[in-house]
Structure 1
Amino acid sequence: MTTRPQSWRIALPEGLKLLNENQSRRMHWHTKSDLAAAIRAAATYAAREALRNGMPHMERAHIFYVIHPGPRVTRRDPANWAQSAKAAIDGLVDAGVLPDDDSTRCLGGDPRLGSPVKGSQLVLHLTDLDQMKPEHLALLNPPGDLS
């Protein structure tokens, strides 16, 4: 029987303003940049806390993110928060969890939808790819040639 590899949860604060694709198209670039910087800083802080509490540094990781939208959000497409996830993953690199977030080091961030919370929240889930067995990796990647 194959056991699931250990993963780590990095939760950004509830109520942190997130970048949503639908809203950011109408946003001034400076406002968008400020929001991305705040998300990145929050993720850096949360990742440093996770490292202090036993999460290892990783060479390669699979990352999925869970968006917990505000209760009043009527359209719930978790991929719309990809800009927030990207900023948060950059924060993981800033904290030293990963050496880089390029395609050789980072698989993901794959979106998931969580239950609504007041103010919304972004939560990252990381699995160390170097601790995964081949049968796990086969489930993460599509079969065959990607060309």
Structure 2
Amino acid sequence: MSQSFTVELPPGLALLNANRRVHHHVRATRTRALRAATIEAVAGHRELMAALAAAKPGPLFTRARIVAYLRPARAGRADPANWYPSFKAAVDGLVDAGLLEDDDHTRLIGPDMRLGSRTPGGQIVLVISDATGWTDVAA
């Protein structure tokens, strides 16, 4: 069965941008906040928690694909890949929440970063899909 779930982090979280150099303490604080917000978003998702409970004792997905959307705070041009550090922290939160055993290449495809619609405060949205049957084309 192909499962897909959408996890929305709360708008207004302080995000990490690869183009902006911040002090390592600030980076660590934001990373922890993003991971915690992801765990909380998973815990508040009733259907996802039911699927996770049914999958116990193992992770929900043995292999998954993630499409990650940046919903920017402002209109205009944006490069979603610049927010990779934020997406990475959120994916680590999915692992912490038990959706995946790990986020290495054998278990995860992505995150494929996209630009979403403008949202006041900015927001990250993750769409996690079962990728058990996924086959990569040789590069």
Q: TM-score range by the shorter chain?
A: 0.7 to 0.9
For residues 122-141 of structure 1, the aligned pairs below 5 Å read 122-130=124-132, 132=133, 137-138=134-135, 141=136
Aligned length: 130
Larger Rg: 1
Question: Which residue pairs with 1:71 in the alignment?
Answer: 74
Q: 1:49 Cα deviation (Å)? A: 2.6
Equivalent residue, structure 1, for 2:62: 59
Shift of 1:33: 0.8
Which piece of structure 1 moves more, 7-16 or 52-61? Answer: 52-61
Alignment of 1:21 with 2:18, yes or no, is: yes
* Contact 1:18/1:35 (8 A) holds in 2: yes
Alignment partners' CA distance in 2, 1:99 and 1:70:
32
Partners of 1:47 and 1:97 within 8 A in 2: no
Find the counterpart in structure 1 of residue 42 from structure 2.
Answer: 47
Q: Which residue of 1 aligns with 2:103?
A: 101
Q: Give the AA of the match of 1:116.
A: R
Which structure 1 segments of 5+ residues have no match? none
TM-score normalized by the length of structure 2:
0.85
CA RMSD of aligned residues (A): 1.7
Normalising by structure 1, we get a TM-score of 0.81
Q: Distance in 1 between matches of 2:69 and 2:50?
A: 21
**2:9 corresponds to 1:38:** no
Structure 1 residue 46, shift from structure 2 partner = 1.1
Could you tell me which residue of structure 2 aligns to residue 83 of structure 1? 85
More helix by share: 1
Distance (whole Å) between structure 2 residues aligned to residue 99 and residue 64 of structure 1:
18
The aligned amino acid for 2:7 is I
Large movers: runs of 4+ above 3 Å: 53-56
